[in-house]
Structures are given as structure tokens and as C-alpha cells.
Amino acid sequence: MQALEQSERSGGGVLNNVSNELVHLYKEQFGRGPTKVRSHFAGPDTLICLLEDSMTPVERNMAVMGEHQRLRDMRLFFQHATVDQFTEVVERLTGRKVRAFVSGMDTQEDVSAEIFVFLPVDVDGDGNRDGDGNGNGNGT
């Protein structure tokens, strides 16, 4: 984590790369990428990526028609259909194992949030909480 924090302070590095890769995924998935994106660590085990202005013309029309819940449902469906792609990018760029992925969108403001919760890093570095490398907590 220290290397990631240094990278963040020295101009982005890992966080910049995560942001750029998520823009690419959005373009692939929705046909249009966000015009503004930023990624930040929120504590030692959480990464938050905020993406703005990513709605397609059809999605904007749905929002104008008041179909906010349908729009959120549609986005969430496609987001979770490709959860492996999102987590692969973050795991590859951060070197951390993603434990949970949470996706949400404010359809009135056209702001999306992608939240990645990492497994805690332990003494032996395998991402397990127990420190024995096999995940059962008793060293066997």
C-alpha cells in the first residue's frame, strides 16, 4: 500500500491508470466513456472511482422522461454482467485482490461510482486474513 500511496502523491500513477482503464471499459460496455473521472483510495482497503458525464443519448432521454429507476437497473445489469472485467483491471493495476465490487449511479447528475473493496493485506501477503496462506485461520 505504501508504494500505491507514494504513486498517488507523485502524480497519480496507479490511480491514473485505473481511471484510464475504467474509461476504456465504459466505452466498450456502453459505447461512450465518461468525460471526467477520478480515483481515490478511501482507507487501506477501498478504492473509489467517480465517473461523470457517461450517459449515452438514449440514457439521457430516459432520464428526461423520468425513467430513472429503469436507467439505474439497466446500468447495474450491464455493470455486473462484466464485473470480472472491472475487478481484473483493478487487481492487475493495484496488485490487490478485490473482495467486493459496488456500482451505483445518480441518473439526475450523471455521476457513477465504482467502489472496490480489497481483501486486507496480511503478514504473508496472500490476501488472507489468517496469515497462514490457506485461508482457514488455524495454520492447517
DSSP string of 49-96?
EEEES---HHHHHHHHTT-HHHHHHHHHHHHHHTHHHHHHHHHHHH--
pLDDT of residue 79: 82
Q: If the chain, 140 residues long, is cut into consecutive pieces of 10 residues, what is the mean pLDDT of each piece?
A: 43 87 92 94 96 94 95 89 94 96 94 96 59 46
pLDDT of residue 140: 40
Phi, psi of 106 (to 5 degrees): -95, 105
- Domain extent listing, the chain: 2-118
pTM for this predicted structure: 0.78
